A and B are shown apart, each in its own frame.
Chain A
Amino acid sequence: MNDALVLLDEVHFAYPPNRRVLAGCSLRLARSDRIGLIGSNGSGKTTLLKSIVGLVRPTAGRVEVFGRPRMHERDFQEVRGRVGLLFQDSDDQLFCPTVAEDVAFGPLNLGQTREEAAGIVAQTLQSLGLKGYEDRITYQLSGGEKRLVALAAVLAMQPEVLLLDEPTSGLDDDATERVVNVLAGLPQAMLIVSHDRSLLQRTAANCLRLSAGRLQQI
């Protein structure tokens, strides 16, 4: 049986010159799984997420996404259309001047027409309670708004899997509450990196700890 959306098998990775962050890391994410990922700073949580979408390539081990082994850039290009990664710093993610353009960026890259993209933009913003934000300038948004718009940009690609890198870090209570509510209501399988226990309690069914490059159940 192979219904795993994401399968990491004994993945190793080290940043040059030789800082090892993943050392035999194995993970299985199936449909409708919600896994929380904790670990100390610098333990490689972000690297783990990046290895799933091919932003870093493991030095050893196997990455399988949607039932197929992924090794080269071309394999990952297909993966990136179906796996959404929310970055820790929304300023890295929102690079277009206006909200509408940023949300439309993904769908346009996936080959949709401008009309289809406009429809997706309206629908996605509406579903996140961001209606009317279309023409707002991204750098003038508040931290919480930026995070939600970045999430909208990811969701606009209609991903089957969400990888969330500290989705609530740096947000105040209200903004955190909004993001958590949105996340709890989404249908996708999720891998959530966070230090926030209450967030994980409300959104993740089980939690893994990354330490010394390996994942352990807790």
Chain B
Amino acid sequence: MATAPQQPPWLGLPPLAVRVAWMDTLDPRGRMAAAVLVSAALAAANQLLTLVIALLTAAAAVRLARMGLRTAFRRLIPVNLFGLVLLLVLPLSTAPAPWFSVGRVGYSREGLLLALVIAVKANAIVLWIMALLGSLDTVRLGHALQHLGVPGKLAHLLLFTIRYLDVLHGEYLRLRAAMKLRGFRPGVNAHTYRTYGYLVGMLLVRSADRSERIVAAMKCRGFRGRFHVFHRFAFAPRDVWFAAGIFLILVSLELLEYS
């Protein structure tokens, strides 16, 4: 009966990879640690060559996660819009001597280079994170966080949010439907604002009530303020290969950066 975990569409991003990829056979903890290390290393790097190579390896990693490059690029659009703004603005504010000018506006070479470095860096980091974590469903993400020693409260906040988002969303939809059935049409007027206020207020009250019932149910099952982790991940030989690969990439990037 076990089916692949699916997320309801409103939960935001659907898992990016559809088929089981090599990346998905790996221990989520290793993937998460790799994501942190790689992003930290890239955030500190400033050589254009290092970053371009990081970008290329990221593209390769995306392939390994069996995520379509096209999908990946679509997700990069917001990052690059930001990069575009930098590319337009940054050259105006650095270095005194302009490289070329458009009318009375002088563009500096250093500024342009800096904007390029930032853009490539952002793309490389986001691509790497997409490749490493993009196909991880939220449940495994939460468990991996917990196993990596992220404070239990934070990990459980995430897991509880996932669990009850659907329930609250259902409640929201029922309230919305009830409003519509009685002829409510949103407009720009006090009545609309007040009604939305009631809607949000009602959701808050109901959530608070529900949280109390949940705590009661937990107490009934012997909860005394401590969570016990049931799942355990296994570190397999392929995870060692993965770790070695990431280590190699990190070392090469650092060598490039500082040679």
Contacts and interface: CB of A to CB of B under 8 A. Distances in A.
Interface of A: 50, 53, 55, 77, 80-81, 84-85, 87, 89, 91-93, 95-98, 100-101, 104-106, 108-110, 114, 117-118, 132-140, 153-154, 157
Contacts of B166: 139
B222 A80 contact: yes
A140 B2 contact: no
Contact of B219 (A55, A84, A138): A55
B222 A134 contact: no
A139 B222 contact: no
A49 B26 CA distance: 47
Contacts of A108: 228, 230
19 contacts: A77-B224, A85-B217, A91-B167, A92-B217, A95-B214, A96-B159, A101-B231, A104-B228, A105-B223, A105-B230, A106-B221, A108-B228, A108-B230, A109-B224, A109-B226, A114-B232, A117-B230, A137-B5, A140-B6
B163 A96 contact: yes
Interface of B: 1-3, 5-6, 139, 142, 159-160, 162-164, 166-167, 210, 213-214, 216-224, 226, 228, 230-232
A157 B222 contact: yes
Contact of B142 (A97, A106, A118): A97
A132 B217 contact: no
Nearest to A130: B1
Nearest to B209: A92
Specify the main secondary structure of chain B where it touches its partner. helix
B2 A135 contact: yes
A123 B259 CA distance: 61
Contact of A139 (B167, B214, B219): B167
Contacts of B228: 104-105, 108-109, 114
Contacts of B213: 87, 89, 92
A199 B54 CA distance: 65
Nearest to A54: B219
A117 B232 CA distance: 13
A97 B224 CA distance: 20
Nearest to B2: A135
